[in-house]
Amino acid sequence: MTNAIQVANLSKQFDTVSVLRDLSFSIPAGKMSAIVGRSGSGKSTLLSLLSGLDNPTNGSVSIDGVELSGLSEAELAKVRRERIGIVFQGFHLIPSLDALANVLLPVAFEDKAKQAELMDYAKLLLDEVELGHRLHHRPAQLSGGEQQRVAIARSLIHRPQVLLADEPTGNLDESTGKTVMSLLRKISQEHGTTLVVVTHDAEIAKQAEQRLHLSNGEISDETN
């Protein structure tokens, strides 16, 4: 089985505090993996390293065969732009932009011909997350669940190989969270995207083909 993500001897230290210690694991392509652990176990720090938003103290992360360590900021930005989608717990939508414009934001600097193609694709993605009728609604006019669905569509606009989701249901009520999680899994399967979800929710973790349990900065259990 091909691996979408390969992690080797990964450590992260802030001053004298070791947040992650010597992690080594792989995440299979095209599957859902869950990174599970209590608050403070290092889950979000690990996701930041997997996305290239932060640099490890030691060790390496490879995404789709590309090792992140040693890349310049411009090269890291290119990897994120081309290979990685990120869904945050906070929706991070721009209040002054409507749903369609928010989805197109990551590709705002593409040329005009590409922009026309991406406009159609953005509308298709919003249809897939059941918001095709709310293209021109701004975030304040959308519920929390609808805002998260816009954020999911935005994360897929550049057709990433890997989709990283940090507590994607954390700001939602239980019913809306289940709907969003079901939609996220369905879309990732249809697009053939590797889905990595950071969660403390055991019910969400059960949906994953692989579960990595983080405790005190170490993987205490790995379940496939």
Query: Is residue 36's pLDDT more than 80?
Result: yes
Positive or negative, the CA dihedral 76, 81, 85, 91 is positive
Fold of 3-223: Rossmann fold (3.40.50)
In the chain, which ranges are E strands? 3-14, 17-28, 32-36, 58-63, 66-67, 84-87, 162-166, 194-199, 210-215, 218-223
Angle between helices 174-191 and 144-156 (to 10 degrees): 20
Structure tokens at 108: 């705002």
Mean pLDDT, rounded, for 153-158: 92
Query: Is residue 161's pLDDT more than 80?
Result: yes
Query: Is residue 20's pLDDT more than 90?
Result: yes
DSSP 139: G
Mean pLDDT, rounded, for 140-158: 93
Query: Is residue 222's pLDDT more than 70?
Result: no
Query: Is residue 163's pLDDT more than 70?
Result: yes
Higher-scoring residue by pLDDT: 113, 211: 211
Terminal CA-to-CA distance of the chain, rounded, Å? 13
Query: Is residue 103's pLDDT more than 90?
Result: yes
Query: Is residue 198's pLDDT more than 80?
Result: yes
168 confidence band (pLDDT: 50, 70, 90):
confident
Distance (Å, whole) CA 216 – CA 86 = 24
Domains in the chain: boundaries: 3-223
Query: Is residue 177's pLDDT more than 80?
Result: yes
pLDDT value for 33: 93
pLDDT value for 221: 65
Question: Could you tell me the CA-to-CA distances from 155 to 7, 69, 87, 170 in Å, in that order?
Answer: 23, 23, 6, 17
Distance (Å, whole) CA 164 – CA 48 = 9
Structure tokens at 202: 């055991």
Mean pLDDT, rounded, for 63-76: 89
pLDDT value for 12: 94
Hey, what's the torsion of the CAs at 214, 205, 182, 117, to 10 degrees? Answer: 30
Q: Are 84 and 52 in contact (CB under 8 A)?
A: yes
Query: Is residue 110's pLDDT more than 80?
Result: no
Q: What is the mean pLDDT of the chain?
A: 89
Q: In the chain, how long is the greatest CA-to-CA distance?
A: 51
Q: Are 84 and 62 in contact (CB under 8 A)?
A: no
pLDDT value for 189: 87
Mean pLDDT, rounded, for 133-153: 94
